[in-house]
Every structure is written in structure tokens, then in C-alpha cells.
Structure 1
Amino acid sequence: MTDSAPVRFLDRTTPPHIATLVLLTGTASMSMTMFLPSLPNMASWFQAEYWIVQLSVSLYLAVNGLLQIVVGPISDRYGRRPVILASLVLFVLATLGTLAAPTIELFLFFRMCQSVVVAALVLSRAAVRDMHGPERAASMIGYVTMGMALVPMIAPMVGGALDAMFGWQASFVFMLVFALAVLALSWSDLGETATNRPASFRAQFAQYPELLSSRRFWGYCAAAAFASGVFFAFLGGAPFVGAQVYGLSAAALGVYFGFPAVGYALGNFLSGRYSVRLGINRMVFYGAAICLGGLLAMGASILSGLNHPAVFFGFFFFTGIGNGMLLPNATSGMLSVRPRLAGSASGLGGAITIGGGAALSALAGALLVPGSGPWPLLVIMIATAFASLLSILYVMWRERTLGL
């Protein structure tokens, strides 16, 4: 596919419409965030400790990361369309399982099965790279994820309201209906974009050393992984901080979760608008700097006595802006190192990103205990944001001094 490839909506013989890619990525994002305001209530329902129920986030992310290693190569070999459609079908079945689970153990099992929907996220990005060059792909990924950001912005609000009215199960019913609608749309519109496929898995894996030996690839992966680690630590710890430190209800938590999502949408808009003009490295750098600056400002505000939920959650607006600028461009950088391995690079890079996020999410859940306040979470996020900034500075240094 090229930039000139025609796109006709609801015609699966042409590349997918951007709206379809937005909804595919939104489905994966919604499954990660919609039920977060319900975590404290789910702990009461299953009569389990919070850290056990919080595993529905960290275990989901861990399996999500492992699946990305497999999803990319399979889609490079067999195509984006069949893998995405299969993942949506399996996600629907797993969601039914979460609703029927009588114990926390079975719920966590089906929750891990839900992670198969990651194929929708990984392969939507790979499809964009199939159709466009590096800078244009970064711009398009920015627009796709800007639209996607509307889902995680609204999803916790909707999830919190549904929890208040019908209980925590209502969020999973909503996910089920949404996924069925996106499956129908994808069947009608999702044309294949991976036209240059390896002859075999052996031929494909033979090219892996070339990808894995690229320091530029690892630099972009590290920048994305650490920046995402800030977000995933937030997912793992913010529900506890909101409920235990600030005494927020599920509905109020859902509203406060909108701050980073609004920032992420704005960052994605900026990425779509300026990536071609400024280049992917500078956009990643600016994003990392804004993310770190927002967290440092939050810490300074809390130290000065402004310890209020509007302060704690409000400064995540800037973290969202930074990640919205950084992630589309770092992703495009990963995929552009070896364009013929775009699916594999997206999967491997995503696995590294999500795997680190799962660890940080679990760490945040383990360190946050009654009386700890928000500080364990804030320290984790500041450290990972600083590491993200160092990673892209390394990539820029190599490019400037070595031309690599």
C-alpha cells in the first residue's frame, strides 16, 4: 500500500477507513480503563483484597505484552485482517466469561483472556505504517490515537456511572456490546494492508537479528516503554489513591480519570499536526519533557500543601499531553527501522512497552498501602518519566554524532 491507495468506506477490498482504525484501537483502550473506578467495589463483591483485584490490571497487561510478540509476526505472515477479526471474536467470548465468573480466580482468568484484543491496537498501527511513510505515519498514528483517546476519556466516566446505577458488571456488558459492533464494522471495512509478506516464518525470523541489533529501535522502545510506564503506574495506583487517600466515589473517580485522557487527546492532535514539520525525534523529546515537567510540578504542589484530588489528577493533564506527543512518534520510529517487519516491530515494541507497564502497575499496587499517601506512586512515575527523556536523548545523540 502507498499514500495514494484509495480508501472507500465499508469496502473491504480497499485499505481501512480511519474511523475503523480509531474504533479498533478504542476497543482495546476501553477494555483497559472502563472498569477502573469499580476496582474498590469489585474487591468488596468478590470479598478479596484490593491488591488481588488490582491484578485484573497488571495480569491483563502482562499477557497483553506476551501476545504482542506473537501477534506481529503472525500478521506479517498471514495479514492484518484475519488476525484482527479473530482477536475480536475471542475478546467477545472472554468478556462473557468475566460476567459469568463466580470467583475472583475465574474472573482474573477470563480477564487475562480479554487481553487478546491487543491485536486491534498493534495491527491498527501496523496498518497505518503499511500505507504511509515514517513522518506521515507518525502524523496519522497521532490522529488515530487522538480519536482513540476519546474512548478512555469517556470510558471511566461511563464505567463509574454504570457502577453506581447497576453494579460493576455493567461495564463489562458495555464492552461486550461495543466489541460486537466494532467486529461487524471491521468485517465490512477492514481491507488488507500487508501486501508484502515473508515467504515463511523461518524467513521472517531470520530477519529478526537485523531488527534486534538496531540501537535506534531499542532507543525508541525504551522511550515509549518508560513513558507508557507512567500511564500504567497511574492505572494501577490512581484508583487506590482516589478512594483511600481522597475518599472519592466510583463516579467521581471516573470524572477525574478524564484529566489525563483530555491531555492525551490534545497531545495526539499536536502530534498529528506537527510531526511532519518537526520530525519524530523532536516530538518525542518535547513529549517526554512535558510529561516529566507535569509530574515534578504536581509533586511540588503537594509538598506546598495543595494536597487535593483536583491537584493530583489535574496535573496528569500534562502527563497526557506529553504521552500523546511521544507515543505516536516513538511508535513510528520503531516501525520505520525495518519497514518490512512493521507488524513484528509493532508487536515486539508493544510487548516491551506493555511488559514494563505491567510491572510498574503491579509495583504501584503493592507499594500503596493505607497511610502511604500518593508519594509511592508519584516517585515511580517521576523516575520512569526521567528515564524516557534520557532514552530519546540517546537516540538524538547517536543520530547527531554517528548518523545512525
Structure 2
Amino acid sequence: MSDRLASSAARRPPFLILVTVSAIGPLALNIFMPSMPGLQATFGVPYGTVQLTLTLYLIGLAVCQLFYGPLSDRYGRRPLLLAGLALFVIASIASALATTIETLIAARLVQALGGASGIVLSRAIVRDLYQGEKAASVLGYITMAWVLAPMIAPAIGGYLDQLWGFRSSFVLLALIGALTLAVAWFTLHETNINRRTDGRLWQSAHYGRIFASGQFRGYATSLAFASAVFFTFLAFAPFLTVNIMGRSAMEYALWFIPVSVGYMIGNYCSGRYSERIGNDQMVLIGNSLTFAGATLCLVLALMGFLTPAAIFLPMLLCALGNGLTIPNGTVRAISIDPRLFGTAAGLLGFLQMGVSAVISQGVGSAQDHHFMIGYWVLAICAGLSALAHLAMLAKARR
């Protein structure tokens, strides 16, 4: 089906609502990061326990994407997205009211279950409407736009934390989620015109068919470790900046802005040049930049440069690389079966978030005693991402 036929077969949702629903999950993740070091004193727990507010959030994002995809292939994107947004609002309110770390961790998990709907279903919606490099281009523009929210989220979160404490961030998230739900109800139309009609709701055979593809496994492995680079950074950067370097949560938030700018530039380049250069070449360039940034970060740390600039400026390169790698790799990974775009997007998201959750929790738990571990894991994940993509391309040529 051509781009024209695909786009005319369904009413295109407004670009802004696609941006907003896909930003809900990353916004909730990043606005909370400056508050994490302070939770050690607030609840009197080790940093490894505080890290669970991030890890279980990622696990929630990972697991429920396995279900959002198939459900949306069967019942459509719209009802699943609206239900996810409603769950997100409820969980944000519960997080704001939490009085123990256990309650907060549980509420964050439920918040992730709702926020994941926008992440996986926005990908599927784009793939419903566009094909090939054009889909990567559109996805790149969407990602470039919604990355503005995570870019300013740590600064907002740090400011709110200093004024009213960590609960104020969740109040803001509840308000944003409620407004997004209201707008989506009236403007987001169904785009899945090739819904599955087979008898079973959730079939492991569909995941098996997708995972059996060497193309999917290669891209998924590369994307999983590329995502792990970013989430490893989220696991150790607040701890290093606040606990080791003695800087404020607000200073961490301000240093985070260049990293987000790098990611936004990468996604802009994906939107601008993917059709011209091609998906695989963009992934190669992105992997090279990510590995260069992670290696530079490690080398500077080994030389004794333990400053915010020595962490965040090399991470700008990593973020730029991820902005090239993730949109292009995503489109290639989920283009296995036109009837299973949602299922493939869900499985890909599960692998990305699952790997990131395991690695980031390991870093968060170990850095109390070995604060350099994050640097090493950063470089290793960047190298594995590049190697996975190169191996997949070499196998395809043979």
C-alpha cells in the first residue's frame, strides 16, 4: 500500500496530540529524576531502594507494551490509548499522596502502565499511516518535538522539588494527564484499519513469528543497548551530581538540558535526512556517535575529571546518536508484518525497557560502593549496540 493509500484510509490524528501522548511517559520519568537523591533522607532508605522508583517504572513500561500492542491490533489504537491515559492520571494522584517509599514505588509502577500506552501506540499509529523511510522521518519529527518535554522536565522537577517537595511534580503530571485525556477524547481518531479478526486475543505465536526474524532480533538488540545507554546515565548521573559532587538538584536539571538538546537534534536529523540517507546508514552514524560519547565520558572519569561538564557534555554526543539510531531502527524493527505493527512495537518496547531496567537497577544498587560503575556500563552498552547492528548487517549480506 502506498503512502497515499495508507494515509487516506484513516483520518490522521493531529500532529500535536501524537506528540503529547508519546511524551507523557518520558515526562513522568524525567521530571522525577532530580528528586530521587533527596528521597534517601525523606524516607530513610538506601539509594538502591530509591532506584526502584525508576527500575519498576521501566519494568512497567516494558511488560505492558507486550499487551498494548496485540490489544491495539485487535481492538484499535484509540480505546487502548484513552484507557492508558486515564490510568496515568489516577496513578499520578496516588504518587502525590504516597506516605511511604513502598506506596510510591507501587504508584510509579501503575503510572508506567498508563504512560506506556502513548509510547507504543504512537509508534503503531505512525506505522499505520506511513511506510519505510517516510515513517522514520515522521517518527523522527514527532520524537524531536516531544523531546522538548523531557528536556525541560528535570528543570521543572528540580524547581518544584525545591519549592514544595517531590509531591508537587506528581500533581503537575496529574493535571497534564487529565488535559491530554480530554483533548485526545475529541481529536484522536482510529487509525488501525487492518485489525486482526482471529479468535484469540493474545497469541504467543505472533511474538514468536516476529522474534524469529533475524532482522527484528538485530535491530531490537541494537536498540535495547542504545536505550540502556540513556537509562544507565539516568541511574548514575543524579547520584554523582548530587551525592558525589555536592551539587543541587536544580543544577543537575540545568545540566540535563544539553543532553536533551543533543537528542532533539538527532531526531531532527532523522526527520530531515532518513529518506535521503536510508535507515541503516543513519543507525550506523548514530551508533558511532553514541560509542564516541560514552568512551569519552569514561576516559575523562579515569583521568580524574569528575565534574558535571565531564559527564553531561559527552552525553550530548550519546543523545545525538540515540536520536539517529532509535527512530530509524524502530521503523526497520517493526516492519515485519503489516497486520502486527502494534505487536512488533510492543515486543520491541518490552525488550528496550526490560534490558534498560535490569542494567540501570544494577548500576543504581552498586554505585553506593563503586561510583565508577556507571561509566563502564555506559561504554559497554554503547559498544554492544554498535556490534549488534554491524553483525545483523553482515549476516544479511551473506
Structure 1 and Structure 2 fold alike (TM over 0.5):
yes
Alpha-carbon offset, residue 306 of structure 1: 3.0
Alpha-carbon offset, residue 204 of structure 1: 7.0
Alpha-carbon offset, residue 209 of structure 1: 3.3
Q: Alignment partner of 2:296: what SS?
A: helix
Q: What is the aligned partner in structure 1 of residue 81 from structure 2? A: 84
Q: Give, as a single letter, the amino acid of the residue that structure 2 aligns with 1:192.
A: E
Q: Is the 8 A contact 1:72 1:344 kept in 2?
A: yes
Deviations 1:66-111, CA, capped at 9 Å, x for gaps: 1111110000000000000000001111111111122111111111
Q: What is the aligned partner in structure 2 of residue 58 from structure 1? A: 55
Q: Determine the C-alpha separation between the residues in 2 that align with 1:197 and 1:213.
A: 22
Q: Is the 8 A contact 2:265 2:320 kept in 1?
A: yes
Q: How does 1:274-293 map to 2 (within 5 A)?
A: 274-293=273-292
Q: Give, as a single letter, the amino acid of the residue that structure 1 aligns with 2:367.
A: L
Q: What is the aligned partner in structure 2 of residue 127 from structure 1? A: 125
Q: How does 1:1-150 map to 2 (within 5 A)?
A: 3-4=3-4, 14-116=11-113, 117-150=115-148
Structure 1: unaligned runs, 5 residues or longer: none
Scaled by the length of structure 2, the TM-score of the pair is 0.95
Alpha-carbon offset, residue 391 of structure 1: 0.9
Q: What is the aligned partner in structure 2 of residue 298 from structure 1? A: 297
Q: Determine the C-alpha separation between the residues in 2 that align with 1:362 and 1:299.
A: 20
Q: What is the aligned partner in structure 1 of residue 366 from structure 2? A: 367
Q: How many aligned positions are there?
A: 395
Q: Determine the C-alpha separation between the residues in 2 that align with 1:245 and 1:291.
A: 25
Q: Alignment partner of 2:335: what SS?
A: helix
Q: How does 1:206-221 map to 2 (within 5 A)?
A: 206-221=205-220
Q: Give, as a single letter, the amino acid of the residue that structure 2 aligns with 1:395.
A: M
Q: Alignment partner of 1:54: what SS?
A: helix
Q: 2:173 aligns with which of 172, 175, 187?
A: 175
Which segment is superposed worse, 182-191 or 305-314? 305-314
Alpha-carbon offset, residue 244 of structure 1: 1.5
Q: Give, as a single letter, the amino acid of the residue that structure 2 aligns with 1:209.
A: G
Q: Determine the C-alpha separation between the residues in 2 that align with 1:120 and 1:138.
A: 17
Q: Determine the C-alpha separation between the residues in 1 that align with 2:223 and 2:286.
A: 10
Q: Determine the C-alpha separation between the residues in 2 that align with 1:191 and 1:181.
A: 17
Q: 2:389 aligns with which of 363, 371, 392?
A: 392
Q: What is the aligned partner in structure 1 of residue 268 from structure 2? A: 269
Q: What is the aligned partner in structure 2 of residue 308 from structure 1? A: 307
Alpha-carbon offset, residue 207 of structure 1: 4.0
Q: Give, as a single letter, the amino acid of the residue that structure 2 aligns with 1:230.
A: V
Q: Determine the C-alpha separation between the residues in 1 that align with 2:112 and 2:137.
A: 27
Q: Determine the C-alpha separation between the residues in 1 that align with 2:5 and 2:212.
A: 32
Q: Alignment partner of 2:13: what SS?
A: coil
Q: 1:165 aligns with which of 163, 166, 174?
A: 163
Q: Determine the C-alpha separation between the residues in 2 that align with 1:113 and 1:316.
A: 30
Deviations 1:336-380, CA, capped at 9 Å, x for gaps: 12222100000001000000000011011012015x34x210100
Structure 2: unaligned runs, 5 residues or longer: none
Q: What is the aligned partner in structure 2 of residue 193 from structure 1? A: 191
Deviations 1:46-70, CA, capped at 9 Å, x for gaps: 2222211110000111122111111
Which segment is superposed worse, 292-301 or 202-211? 202-211
Q: What is the aligned partner in structure 1 of residue 350 from structure 2? A: 351
Alpha-carbon offset, residue 189 of structure 1: 1.3
Deviations 1:287-346, CA, capped at 9 Å, x for gaps: 111000011122223333433211111111001000010000111011112222100000
Deviations 1:212-263, CA, capped at 9 Å, x for gaps: 2101101010010000001111111211111122111111111112222111
Q: Alignment partner of 1:337: what SS?
A: coil
Q: Give, as a single letter, the amino acid of the residue that structure 2 aligns with 1:57.
A: L
Deviations 1:193-222, CA, capped at 9 Å, x for gaps: 111011135387344433221011010100
Q: Is the 8 A contact 1:5 1:15 kept in 2?
A: no
Identity of paired residues, percent? 37
Alpha-carbon offset, residue 396 of structure 1: 1.5
Q: How does 1:228-239 map to 2 (within 5 A)?
A: 228-239=227-238
Mark the CA change 1:275 to 1:261 in structure 2 (over 3 Å): closer, same or farther.
same
